């Protein structure tokens, strides 16, 4: 965001040199947070980039040039609203459709758009928008999109919007659902703070059967856990209440194997058998993914200000964005062999 414009910018992954940029009008004013967005991660598919702006504007641009293909005012057309922090559920591409938790009225909670034209393919449900991004999985040989909305979890057919199952998840009032749903071994793990807690369910096209649920195991405010060899690793707690812990939890039972205090809300990336942990104060930690105990290998302060945006790991480089005094900075670190800043 720069003034009254939201900007998508392409940079060289190795040098950071700008390649192109495209701007769009922006009217979002910040809501419950002075940061005026945008908040969604760009979705890239087949040479195009799909963007969901903070005020619910949907854009499609060319990956190589930034050329604009189409635009939809999703919040305006479907009567969506900014919620506490503006739009924050990143779009999902599946079966030739762009799926978005718009949170609109008139059965426009979930809306699918044609990838090529942006035209509405289907819409369904009275689902208010959340800050959780949907995930794609396969059940019974069929693609299934799983959404955590404001107050529910539901699974739908990406082609038609047909609902396979749903269950209640979330609370009314000043709360958010923000972590991405995690699917493994035909099971679905969802988590939130604010007294909502975590839940594991056995899932199929016919339904979602509870395995366990509680608010003591892994209640994450907005960061998404990772799964490895039967265990979940992630943050337990909130950014605005106390200091979140980093934990390992046995997936099948919810048993806490260990808990490391003082981490704060942490984004977690699984790299082989290792964990890269970036908290909101810019502290980067490398640890072993072990259920026995927390095993820290390295820790460095790598960013100033707030590092709330999702980091990325690709080709031995770790990318993260900081926000300090209204100004943002993107940093690239070489990881694995050295820690040289690019």
Mean pLDDT of the chain: 94
CA proximity to 241, closest of 275, 289, 193: 193
Distance CA 131, CA 183 (A): 18
Distance CA 111, CA 121 (A): 8
Residue pLDDT tens, the chain, 342 long: 777 889 999 999 999 999 999 999 887 776 666 677 688 999 999 999 999 999 999 999 999 999 999 999 999 999 998 888 889 999 999 999 999 999 999 899 999 999 999 999 999 999 999 999 999 999 999 999 999 999 999 999 999 999 999 999 999 999 999 999 999 999 999 999 999 999 999 999 999 999 999 999 999 999 999 999 999 999 999 988 889 999 999 999 999 999 999 999 999 999 999 999 999 999 999 999 999 999 999 999 998 889 999 999 999 999 999 988 778 899 999 998 555 545
* Domain annotation for the chain: domains and CATH numbers: 1-94 (2.40.10.480)
pLDDT at 84: 86
Q: pLDDT per residue over 25-66, tens digit each?
A: 887 776 666 677 688 999 999 999 999 999 999 999 999 999
pLDDT at 103: 96
Distance CA 177, CA 197 (A): 10
Distance CA 191, CA 234 (A): 10
pLDDT at 226: 99
Distance CA 117, CA 37 (A): 26
Report residue 333 CA to chain centroid gap: 22
Can you tell me which residue has the tokens 């919620």? Answer: 83
What is the pTM for the complete model shown?
A: 0.94
Q: What angle do CA 201, 269, 152 make, to 5 degrees?
A: 30
Q: pLDDT per residue over 262-311, tens digit each?
A: 999 999 999 999 999 999 999 999 999 999 999 999 999 998 889 999 99
CA proximity to 236, closest of 208, 205, 252, 257: 257
Distance CA 60, CA 18 (A): 20
Residue 322 pairs in a beta bridge with 329
DSSP structure class, residue 79: T
**Alpha-helix residue ranges (DSSP H) falling in the chain:** 74-78
pLDDT at 33: 65
């Amino acid at each position: 965001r720069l003034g009254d414009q939201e900007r998508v910018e392409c940079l060289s992954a190795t040098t950071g040199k700008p390649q192109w940029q495209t701007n769009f009008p922006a009217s979002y004013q910040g809501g419950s947070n002075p940061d005026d967005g945008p908040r969604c991660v760009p979705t890239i598919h087949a040479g195009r980039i799909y963007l969901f702006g903070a005020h619910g504007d949907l854009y499609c641009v060319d990956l190589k040039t930034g050329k604009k293909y189409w635009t939809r005012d999703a919040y305006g057309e479907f009567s969506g609203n900014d919620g506490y922090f503006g739009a924050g559920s990143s779009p999902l591409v599946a079966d030739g459709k762009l799926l978005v938790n718009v949170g609109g009225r008139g059965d426009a909670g979930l809306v699918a758009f044609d990838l090529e034209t942006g035209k509405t393919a289907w819409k369904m449900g009275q689902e208010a928008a959340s800050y959780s991004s949907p995930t794609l999985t396969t059940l019974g040989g069929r693609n299934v999109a799983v959404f955590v909305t404001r107050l529910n979890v539901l699974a739908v057919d990406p082609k038609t919007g047909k609902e396979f199952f749903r269950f209640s998840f979330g609370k009314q009032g000043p709360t958010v659902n923000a972590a991405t749903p995690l699917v493994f071994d035909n099971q679905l793990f969802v988590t939130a703070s604010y007294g909502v807690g975590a839940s594991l369910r056995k899932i199929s096209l016919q339904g979602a059967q509870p395995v366990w649920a509680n608010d003591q195991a892994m209640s994450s405010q907005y960061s998404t856990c990772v799964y490895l060899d039967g265990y979940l690793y992630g943050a337990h707690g909130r950014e605005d209440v106390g200091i979140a812990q980093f934990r390992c939890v046995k997936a099948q039972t919810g048993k806490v194997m260990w808990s490391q205090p003082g981490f704060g809300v942490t984004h977690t990336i699984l790299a082989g058998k290792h964990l890269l942990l970036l908290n909101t104060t810019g502290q980067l930690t490398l640890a072993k993914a072990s259920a026995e105990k927390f095993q820290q290998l390295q820790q460095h302060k790598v960013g100033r200000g707030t590092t709330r945006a999702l980091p990325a790991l690709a080709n031995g480089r770790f990318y993260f964005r900081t926000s300090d005094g209204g100004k943002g900075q993107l940093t690239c670190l070489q990881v694995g062999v050295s820690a040289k800043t690019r």
